[in-house]
Amino acid sequence: MPTTRGQKQKTGANLLDGLVEEKRIRKSRPAGDRTASKPAPAKGKGKKGRAGNHDLNLPHVALAHSFLARGANFSFSEPSEQVRPSRKVWGPREVPIITQSELPDGWSVDEPDLNEADIDGQIERCKERISEGIMPDFFESRMETFMAIKKDRMDMINFERKGLSWEIVQRLDSLKKLEQILGRKDDDDNLSNVKALMAAYRSGDLGWDRDLVSYWLNGKRLTGPKKLNIQELYSLSTEHGPKGFWVEGIWISLRNPITQGTNTMATTMTFDFLEDTGASSMRIFNDDKNQIERLSGAHVPVVGQGMKQTASGPVPVQNVILQANVMYNGQSLLPYWVDIKASVTPGRRGPSGDRLAGVWIHHLLFILSMPDNTQRKHIGTDINEMILNLPIPDYKNARPPPFV
């Protein structure tokens, strides 16, 4: 259930620093506010509820009523393990089909029973599809693509010594690219860390475990591998950072967490972000980071550098830890600040692009979109209340985005 003002995230967790709990000013509630709704008036008394003004035939109102009718039984079940369908065989054929008009009903080029990352399986499937005699040219082209991917993978594996896992080979490939870039410009003194990590992976002194991290300083290991402790990270970053400090293996998916004990709303900055579901992590700009540091009076925790995959190819970025929340009318939707890994891009918003929110919001809040041509996202903690309070969209005039 949504967290109310009287509840905390967990035992010992603090509510938002800088907000006086007893005298918090009440403002108009956004859709999905976490505070409890007032009981409905007794039948025949008082005013009609908000839903009474909506047409019950509208899809979103009908959906809201179905939710409300379920009452306390409204819950989300645990996601079940994906069951892949069995493959349907369509051949072989004596005369190959090479035109779309002759394709049998139900035939598709998709392979729902195969994982796309199963390169060997995809290559074998292409061979089977070619032998079936339906659009063989298409599958010959697809097989060439997967064989090129396999060649690139084997080149990466053969470059390193035998016995290294595929995960370590991929990490070494990323570190090699980063080494070349830092060899030309190393503003954060991380080249020694990159070289030390590559040597540790290749010698077997450092393994690969997504649940463990290790801390490095100027090419020397400070401690680890061990479970990530965010307070230990803050302490080591304050003591040794920001230059030459590196956290290897951190994969946790705004304000300065170093000064969280003294942060108030006055030292909290509000930024506009593009809500891009394709962004795996938050992206801010170096100018944003500088503003946060100047306002808080401390460096943000730096956890090293990495390669960020973009539409124009991989680019080197600095990785930092920030604390984030979602604000509306001066109020926060989350009762606690969330530790977020963010990548820092050179420059400032505008000439260098947009800030990207990343996927962390999708793990904590409901997010709805509507066919209203505004491209807005509606964010909240109560799905029932959100649907009842959403504006009525003009379905007939909904249009795809323009070509720009």
pTM to 2 decimal places: 0.52
Q: Which of 240-244, 301-305, 339-343, 363-367 has the highest mean pLDDT?
A: 339-343
Tell me how far apart the alpha carbons of residues 316 and 309 are, in angstroms, rounded to a whole number: 9
Tell me how far apart the alpha carbons of residues 68 and 52 are, in angstroms, rounded to a whole number: 14
Q: Where do we find the tokens 């089909």?
A: 97
Tell me how far apart the alpha carbons of residues 253 and 280 are, in angstroms, rounded to a whole number: 8
Q: CA dihedral in degrees (87, 93, 98, 100; nearest 10)?
A: -60
Residue 320's identity, in one-letter code, is V
User: 39-53, 183-197, 378-392: which range is least confident on average?
Assistant: 39-53
* Each residue's pLDDT tens digit, 43-57: 444 444 444 455 666
Which SS3 state, helix, strand or coil, does residue 146 take? Answer: helix
* Each residue's pLDDT tens digit, 318-338: 888 888 887 665 667 777 788
Mean residue pLDDT across the chain: 73
**Of 251 and 318, the one with more pLDDT:** 318
**Which residue blocks in 49-135 are alpha helix, DSSP H?**
59-70, 119-132
DSSP state of 49: P
CA angle 285, 232, 363 (to 5 degrees): 55
pLDDT at 293 over 70: yes
pLDDT at 279 over 70: no
Residues linked to residue 366 through DSSP beta bridges, in sequence order: 380
272: how many CB neighbours lie within 10 A of its CB?
A: 8
Q: From the centroid of its chain, how far is CA 303?
A: 18
Q: CA dihedral in degrees (218, 343, 316, 197; nearest 10)?
A: 30
pLDDT at 249 over 60: yes
Please tell me the CATH code under which domain 257-364 is placed.
2.40.70.10
Helix 119-132 vs helix 136-159: crossing angle, to nearest 10: 160
Tell me how far apart the alpha carbons of residues 16 and 336 are, in angstroms, rounded to a whole number: 5
Interval 262-283 mean pLDDT: 63
Domain with CATH 2.40.70.10 in the chain: 257-364
**H/E element holding 222?**
strand 220-227
DSSP assignment of 223-291 equals EEEEE--HHHHHHHHHHH-STTEEEET-----B-GGGTTT--GGG------B--TT-SSEEEEHHHHHH
Side-chain half-sphere exposure of 335, counting CA atoms within 13 A: 19
DSSP state of 156: H
- Provide the pLDDT for residue 265: 56
- Provide the pLDDT for residue 155: 92
- Provide the pLDDT for residue 125: 94
Q: Are 324 and 338 in contact (CB under 8 A)?
A: yes
* Each residue's pLDDT tens digit, 347-358: 766 545 677 777
